[in-house]
Amino acid sequence: AQKVTQAQTEISVVEKEDVTLDCVYETRDTTYYLFWYKQPPSGELVFLIRRNSFDEQNEISGRYSWNFQKSTSSFNFTITASQVVDSAVYFCALSEAKGAQKLVFGQGTRLTINP
Partner 1 sequence: DAGVTQSPTHLIKTRGQQVTLRCSPKSGHDTVSWYQQALGQGPQFIFQYYEEEERQRGNFPDRFSGHQFPNYSSELNVNALLLGDSALYLCASSLALEGTDTQYFGPGTRLTVL
Which parts of this chain interact with partner 1 (CB under 8 A)?
4, 33, 35, 37, 42-47, 50, 52, 91, 93, 95, 97-108
Cβ of residue 15: shortest distance to partner 1, in angstroms? 25
Q: From the CB of 45, what's the least distance to partner 1, in Å?
A: 4
Q: CB of 70 within 8 A of CB of 56?
A: yes
The residue type of 73 is S
By beta-carbon proximity to partner 1, the closer residue of 10 and 17 is: 10
Least CB distance to partner 1 at residue 68 (A): 16
| Rounded-to-integer distance, Cα 16 and Cα 109, Å | 19
Distance between CA atoms of 7 and 24, rounded to whole angstroms? 8
With H, G, I as helix, E, B as strand and everything else as coil, classify residue 47.
strand
Cβ closest to partner 1, residue 85 vs residue 100: 100
